Amino acid sequence: MHKTMLFTTEEYKQRVRKTKESMDKAGMAVLLVMDPANMNYLTGYDGWSFYVHQGVIISQDLEKPFWFGRQQDANGARLTSWLTDDCIYGYPDEYVQSRYTHTMHWVAELLRQKGLDRRRIGLEMDGYWFNARMYSVLKEELPQAIPLDGTNLVNWIRAVKSPAEIAYIKQAARICKKVMQTAIDAIEVGAWEKDAAAKVSAAQIAGTDSFGGSSPAIFPIMPSAQRTSTAHLTFEPDRQYQKNDVILLELCGARHRYHAPLSRTVYLGDPPQDLRNTADGVVQGLQETLTVIQPGVTAEEVEKRWRKAIAHTGVVKPSRVGYSFGLNYVPDWGEHTISLRPGDKTVLKPGMALHFMPGIWLETYGFECSEPVLVTETGCQKLVEFPQRLFLK
Burial of 1 (0-12, 13-18, 19+ CB in 10 A): exposed
Q: Does residue 162 have a pLDDT over 90?
A: yes
On the CB side of 301, CA atoms within 13 Å amount to 12
Torsion 113-118-123-125 (CA) sign: positive
**pLDDT tens readout for residues 274-301:** 999 999 999 999 999 999 999 999 999 9
Termini Cα distance of the chain = 53
Which amino acid type is present at position 16?
A: V
| pLDDT score at 316 | 85
Q: Does residue 3 have a pLDDT over 90?
A: no
Over range 383-393, report the average pLDDT: 98
Over range 15-36, report the average pLDDT: 98
Over range 205-215, report the average pLDDT: 97
Q: 62 falls in which pLDDT band (50, 70, 90)?
A: very high
On the CB side of 183, CA atoms within 13 Å amount to 31
Strands 258-267 and 390-392: parallel
Give the residue ranges of DSSP H helices in the chain: 9-25, 36-43, 74-80, 103-113, 132-141, 153-158, 163-186, 193-206, 273-290, 299-310
**Cα→Cα distances 355→216, 217, 230, 303, 390, Å:** 15, 15, 19, 12, 19
Q: Does residue 2 have a pLDDT over 80?
A: no
| pLDDT score at 1 | 67
Give backbone dihedrals phi and psi of 262, rounded to 5 degrees, phi first: -155, 145
Residues paired with residue 68 on neighbouring β-strands, in sequence order = 55, 89
The count of residues in the chain is: 393
Q: Does residue 368 have a pLDDT over 80?
A: yes
Domain ranges of the chain: 9-158, 163-392
Q: Does residue 349 have a pLDDT over 70?
A: yes
Mean pLDDT of the chain: 97
| pLDDT score at 93 | 97
The residues near 160 (Cβ < 8 Å, ≥ 6 apart) are 349, 350, 351, 352
Over range 137-161, report the average pLDDT: 98
The residues near 373 (Cβ < 8 Å, ≥ 6 apart) are 290, 293, 353, 354, 355, 356, 380, 381, 382, 383
| pLDDT score at 315 | 86
Global confidence as pTM: 0.97
Over range 23-32, report the average pLDDT: 98
Q: Does residue 267 have a pLDDT over 70?
A: yes
**Cα→Cα distances 278→173, 264, 311, Å:** 26, 13, 12
pLDDT above 90 as % of the chain:
97
Out of 3.40.50.140, 3.40.50.740, 3.30.200.100, 3.40.350.10, select the CATH number for domain 9-158. 3.40.350.10
Q: Does residue 73 have a pLDDT over 90?
A: yes
Strands 66-70 and 353-356: unpaired
Over range 328-336, report the average pLDDT: 98
Task: Classify 127 as helix, strand or coil.
Answer: coil
Q: Which of 115, 88, 387 is nearest to 263 (CA)?
A: 387
Over range 247-265, report the average pLDDT: 98
Looking at domain 163-392, its CATH superfamily turns out to be Creatinase/methionine aminopeptidase superfamily (3.90.230.10)
On the CB side of 67, CA atoms within 13 Å amount to 33
Tell me how far the alpha carbon of residue 12 is from its chain's centroid: 19
Over range 131-154, report the average pLDDT: 98
| pLDDT score at 314 | 85
Taking the CB of residue 288, how many other CB atoms lie within 10 A of it? Answer: 14
